[in-house]
Copies of this chain bind each other. A is one copy, B any other.
């Protein structure tokens, strides 16, 4: 058993994604991810999962070459290697849902999956779960929220997916009912920014009527002006545990936060450590949605959690379309994060049971029980991985482009921030 990384394998994959609407457009028929394998000799592998967009993949490839020979316990050396490999490069995040790009953010996005894979390797080398390497188990199961989307019944020209259409309050409530019944979620998030704010407030009211005890959240992805945000905030007083990214920029969020009756959450205006001091100083946000995929992996997400605890700011987790390695990493991180003060987001229900894992983690009462086996506690289904790589090669999609895809059907669509 080698204790150095002997080989790095990157596998870009594609998997079916339902037509989920958001402020930027609509999800394409295929979502992309890259599976990162760090091998130590023939028998040991550490896993990571990250974005699959082509610019990101090209940075991952540069980094991969620099990682061979790494001691998987030396994350400081990993950082030096990755930084050297991608120095100064800025891979745009064109879908625009996690703030603007920067070279430092690109570096941390590339560093993250290698760091997760190193922690998985460490866990296998020492026979301990990743949460133990992150400082211990603050909880036995990590709660997630139901993540509702307005959606079409099918991609144009394709068969309807099992979730069906949801374009009004009744459709959203039906979606929520099915998701809650199936997974046991005890809090509910609605992705908004799709319809007139009044319509989305009506959906929140309908959810409250159907689920009187579930904390609710609404996330229009910065589709509203400050004025509209304040109007919605007043209308939803007492209905939302938090309002997520109603409006763009730290300054805009601060203006809303000064008058809104509920905390504001963000994964758009606080997306790197450089955003933290101005946002906290302006009291722009009450909840940060962490995401180890772009904050730089599990340890830097822990740093963010520590900062939030120190500044008495709430903490939840953001999610993009993802598979089971990401869910496992989020679960270990959540297990080791005492101040995860809100249930985390996950897209898992939207992946329709598709995964790259032999045995995906499962939800019990809306939470994922914390694995107790070594490392992340998951292993690759290599047949599934090969199939999904074939799908990647065939699908033709190389960058996420919700806006361009919606424009195929609504040529005048523009992803305005704010729109209303």
Q: Which residues of A pack against B, CB within 8 Å?
A: 71, 73-79, 125-126, 128, 132-133, 135-138, 273, 276-277, 280-281, 299-300, 302-303, 306-307, 309-312, 336, 338
Contact = CB atoms under 8 A, between A and B. Distances in A.
A125 B310 CA distance: 32
Contacts of A280: 277
Given A125-B126, A310-B307, A76 B276 contact: no
A137 B281 contact: no
A77 B126 contact: no
A136 B77 contact: yes
A135 B276 contact: no
Contacts of A307: 303, 306-307, 310
A281 B300 CA distance: 23
B276 A73 contact: no
A76 B138 contact: yes
A74 B335 CA distance: 11
B311 A76 contact: no
A135 B76 contact: yes
A116 to B, nearest CB: 13
A136 B78 contact: yes
Q: Within the oligomer, what is the number of copies of this chain?
A: 2
A311 B303 CA distance: 12
Nearest to A281: B281
A90 B71 CA distance: 43
A73 B303 contact: no
A277 B75 contact: no
Ranked 5 nearest A-B pairs via Cβ: A76-B136, A303-B306, A73-B132, A126-B126, A74-B136
B310 A276 contact: yes
28 contacts: A71-B132, A73-B132, A73-B136, A74-B132, A74-B136, A74-B137, A75-B135, A75-B136, A76-B135, A76-B136, A76-B137, A76-B138, A77-B136, A126-B126, A126-B128, A133-B133, A276-B310, A276-B311, A277-B310, A277-B311, A277-B312, A281-B281, A303-B303, A303-B307, A303-B310, A306-B306, A306-B307, A307-B307
Contacts of A273: 309-310
Contact of A135 (B126, B281, B299, B336): B299
A75 B77 CA distance: 25
Nearest to A136: B76
Contacts of A310: 273, 276-277, 303, 307
A125 B133 CA distance: 13
A168 B73 CA distance: 49
A416 B225 CA distance: 55
A375 to B, nearest CB: 13
B306 A76 contact: no
A336 B77 CA distance: 11
A76 B336 CA distance: 7
